[in-house]
């Protein structure tokens, strides 16, 4: 009869017959086969007609029979996952059963995780425990749990959620069944990723708002353990301020209270720290988490600001007055100078961010601040430091690539450059173990990031040869860009506040178009110090002159100081001059130095063998617009040729005149190509100069 009613999909009558069968023949195999089919339908995500009928059939049974049926069905399960899912059906339908079965189910899942020796906390057992079982346990006031067990469960939940959110694109792609949308993977909405955890269905694997979920667990545990301050609906800043206040009195409490408030401070601050550190890293390096979906988002790298490299306040303009000295008096001069204060370390350093590259820059900087202050709080007292270290060791945070990126930036911000260098070497080792080249574009990006940060740290330490070495290594990765990019001149403030004594930092676009100009500034800063000292160093001065062509006329005042120095010396030797100097204003100045009015300065600018090296000029348009040399558009090459050669064609060496004429013909050669060639071809000489 039951089969007839079931096949006819008459829910009520089939339900009554199923009830009679279950009560009268509870141990018959055929009965359990039918119950197994029904419970499978209850756990199934499908919405087909048959599944919906079986669910409706189950709903017709009395609650007592439903409970008994689910309990007995659970006893028939020998697979841990299947048994857990069956018990979850029971716990959700009958909250009273949580008291009897909740903790046992949770412990069995944690035990299964250990037995299976799962490599990652993001596994099916931990997911079911943290997301499904734990909320039922902690939100049920009738379930009495000791504080130590609650802290254990909080630890497991925090580890799971943090690892779930921060999994790299490489790991995600191993489990992903469908393409993620950029919206789902954005730093603020990375909450319902379509990735499948092995052993679970796609629906069971999805977690909505994981950060919100873990803070809910924190709040509930805090209420149960009678912590100070309700954690719910509090901003990260409020939580951190309260934890700073609580930490001041930890040493005054007895053992039990000491443990309670120490745990509150540690776990509350740990979650604020990891949440904000992740928010920062996912904003500056989205490809680490989003993979190909981050193709349109520019990665950023934290660097020391060296925009003041072109400034100099000690120029005596009376020593050498050129007839064209007023050529740029109408241009706005940069007032930054060599007064960067390297002692400004640790706090309140300004970080400049190009608005076009990071629209939510204020939020990112706030995340960076909260993460730094959380880290400092966790290391401010020995009990906090010890507990935080224990957590980090158990979670294996040393292997978290994204966290190492944050820690590197934090130490750089604090001015602890030697620690930052050590952190960068640690980062390189992690990149090798994570095989980032499997993530499209990740390998070259990481190489560039590491090298440029190493260079900026060595520069801040005054280790200029190491700075130069890293910059020149980085030049090998430079792919001179073809598509139009953002102009660097628009990313920098024209004036540096005279009240700011702390050296600034910049979150700089980590692209060839932006990194190469920064590298050229670093090189100039290194050679500038050697070129303008009291002792003579023509090679360093020549290198500086070549580099001053970049971003012309920003370095014009410094170039004039170089001219004054040459005039004081009475002669100047730099045999690479005609290989790399193509700036028309500089050529005009050096041509004038050979004249009677210019002081008849002896210039040895040609190679010893007297052969002028001819360098073919690449066609214009090969590089981005920002890489074109700065020239006055109204001045034609022919007019410049007349200006440069007039007055020196009589009584000067023929080879110098020919060389100048040839250089004028190169004045429209792509400057970035010239400077890139300079860095690559003269690497040995550049390093020797700084030895």
Q: Which residue has the higher pLDDT, 530 or 71?
A: 530
Segment 27-60, tens digit of pLDDT:
767 766 777 777 776 667 667 777 777 666 677 7
The per-residue pLDDT for 464 is 94
Mean pLDDT is lowest, of 2-16, 112-126, 643-657, for 643-657
Q: What is the rounded distance in angstroms from the CA atom of residue 582 to the CA atom of residue 201?
A: 65
Percent of the chain with pLDDT over 70: 73
pLDDT of residue 630: 33
Name the band, by pLDDT with cuts 50, 70 and 90, for residue 670: confident
Average pLDDT over residues 540-551: 94
What are the tokens at 28? 């018959």
Question: What distance, in Å, lies between the first and last C-alpha atoms of the chain?
Answer: 97
Residue 613: predicted pLDDT: 37
The C-alpha atoms of residue 408 and residue 532 are separated, in whole angstroms, by 33
Beta-bridged to residue 352, according to DSSP, are: 506
Q: Does 346 have pLDDT greater than 90?
A: no
Region 419-427: mean pLDDT is 94
Cis (ω within 30 of 0) for the bond into 553? Answer: yes
Whether 493 shows a pLDDT value over 70: the answer reads no
Strands 300-304 and 571-573: unpaired
Provide the pLDDT for residue 26. Answer: 67
Convert the pLDDT of each residue in 150-208 to its tens digit: 999 999 999 999 999 998 654 554 444 433 433 333 344 444 445 788 888 888 888 99
What digits encode the pLDDT tens for the residues 282-308? 999 988 887 655 556 789 999 999 888
Please tell me the predicted confidence (pLDDT) of residue 213.
Answer: 94
CA angle, residues 225, 231, 236, in degrees to nearest 5: 140
Comparing C-alpha atoms, which of 173, 645, 688, 185 is closest to residue 434?
Answer: 173
Rounded CA-CA distance 439/299 in Å is 14
Among the listed ranges 127-136, 312-321, 388-397, 550-559, which one has the minimum average pLDDT value?
312-321
Model pTM greater than 0.75?
yes
Q: What is the pLDDT of residues 229-281, one digit of tens each?
A: 776 668 899 999 999 998 988 877 777 888 888 999 999 999 999 999 999 99
Checking if the pLDDT of 527 tops 90, the result is yes
Give how far the C-alpha of residue 426 lies from the chain's centroid of Cα atoms, to the nearest Å. 16
Interhelix angle 556-569/584-593, rounded to 10 degrees, is: 20
The pLDDT value recorded for residue 498 is 42
Segment among 284-293, 335-344, 673-682 with least mean pLDDT: 335-344
pLDDT reading at 483 higher than 50: no
Higher pLDDT, 480 or 217: 217
Which residues contact residue 566 at a Cβ distance below 8 angstroms, ignoring those fewer than 6 apart? 541, 572, 593, 601
């Amino acid at each position: 009869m039951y089969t007839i009613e079931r096949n006819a999909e008459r829910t009520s009558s089939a339900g009554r017959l199923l009830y009679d069968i279950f009560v009268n023949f509870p141990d018959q195999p055929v009965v359990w086969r039918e119950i197994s089919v029904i419970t499978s339908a209850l756990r199934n995500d499908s919405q087909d007609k048959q599944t919906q009928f079986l669910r409706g059939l189950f709903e017709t049974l009395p609650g007592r029979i439903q409970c008994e049926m689910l309990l007995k069905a659970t006893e028939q399960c020998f697979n841990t996952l299947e048994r857990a899912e069956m018990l979850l059906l029971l716990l959700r339908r009958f909250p009273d059963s949580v008291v009897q079965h909740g903790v046992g189910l949770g412990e069995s899942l944690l035990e299964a995780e250990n037995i299976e020796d799962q490599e990652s906390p993001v596994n099916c057992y931990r997911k079911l425990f943290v997301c499904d079982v734990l909320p039922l346990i902690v939100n049920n006031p009738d379930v009495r749990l000791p504080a130590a067990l609650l802290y254990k469960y909080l630890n497991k939940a925090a580890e799971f959620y943090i690892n779930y959110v921060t999994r790299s694109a490489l790991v995600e792609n191993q489990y992903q069944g469908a393409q993620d949308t950029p919206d789902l993977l954005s730093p603020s909405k990375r909450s319902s990723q379509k990735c499948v955890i092995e052993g679970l269905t796609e629906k069971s694997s999805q977690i909505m708002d994981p950060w919100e979920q873990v803070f809910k667990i924190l709040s509930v545990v805090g209420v149960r353990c009678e912590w100070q301050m309700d954690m719910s609906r509090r901003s990260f800043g409020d939580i951190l301020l309260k934890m700073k206040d609580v930490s001041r009195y930890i040493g005054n409490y007895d053992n039990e209270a000491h443990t309670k408030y120490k745990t509150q401070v540690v776990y509350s601050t740990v979650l604020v720290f990891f949440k904000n550190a992740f928010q920062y890293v996912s904003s500056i390096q989205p490809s680490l988490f989003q993979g190909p979906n981050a193709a349109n988002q520019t990665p950023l790298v934290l660097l020391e600001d060296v925009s003041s490299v072109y400034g100099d306040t000690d120029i005596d303009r009376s020593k050498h007055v050129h007839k064209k000295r007023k050529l740029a008096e109408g241009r706005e001069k940069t007032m930054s100078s060599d007064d960067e204060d390297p002692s400004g370390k640790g706090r309140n350093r300004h970080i400049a961010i190009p608005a076009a590259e990071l629209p939510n820059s204020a939020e990112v900087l706030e995340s960076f601040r909260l993460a730094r202050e959380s880290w400092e709080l966790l290391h401010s007292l020995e009990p906090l430091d010890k507990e935080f270290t224990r957590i980090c060791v158990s979670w294996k945070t040393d292997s978290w690539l994204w966290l190492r990126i944050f820690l590197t930036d934090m130490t750089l911000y604090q001015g602890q450059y030697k620690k930052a260098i050590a952190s960068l070497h640690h980062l390189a080792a992690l990149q090798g173990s994570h095989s980032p080249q499997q993530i499209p574009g990740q390998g070259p990006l990481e190489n560039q990031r590491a090298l440029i940060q190493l260079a900026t740290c060595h520069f801040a330490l005054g280790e200029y040869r190491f700075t130069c070495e890293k910059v020149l290594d980085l030049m090998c990765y430079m792919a001179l860009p073809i598509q139009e990019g953002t102009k660097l001149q628009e990313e920098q403030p024209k004036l540096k506040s005279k009240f700011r004594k702390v050296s600034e930092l910049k979150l700089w676009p980590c692209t060839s178009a932006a990194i190469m100009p920064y590298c050229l500034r670093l090189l100039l800063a290194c050679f500038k110090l050697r070129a303008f000292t009291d002792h003579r160093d023509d090679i360093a001065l020549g290198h500086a002159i070549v580099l001053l062509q970049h971003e012309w006329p920003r370095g014009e005042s410094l170039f004039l100081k170089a001219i004054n120095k040459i005039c004081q010396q009475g002669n100047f030797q730099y045999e690479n001059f005609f290989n790399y100097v193509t700036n028309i204003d500089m050529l005009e100045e050096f041509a004038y130095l050979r004249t009677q009015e210019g002081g008849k300065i002896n210039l040895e600018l040609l190679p010893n063998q007297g052969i002028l090296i001819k360098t073919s000029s690449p066609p214009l348009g090969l590089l981005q617009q920002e890489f074109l040399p700065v020239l006055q558009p109204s001045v034609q090459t022919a007019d410049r040729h007349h200006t440069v050669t007039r007055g020196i064609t009589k009584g000067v060496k023929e080879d110098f005149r020919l060389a100048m004429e040839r250089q004028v013909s190169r004045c429209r050669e792509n400057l970035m190509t010239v400077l890139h060639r300079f860095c690559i071809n003269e690497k040995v000489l550049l390093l020797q100069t700084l030895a």
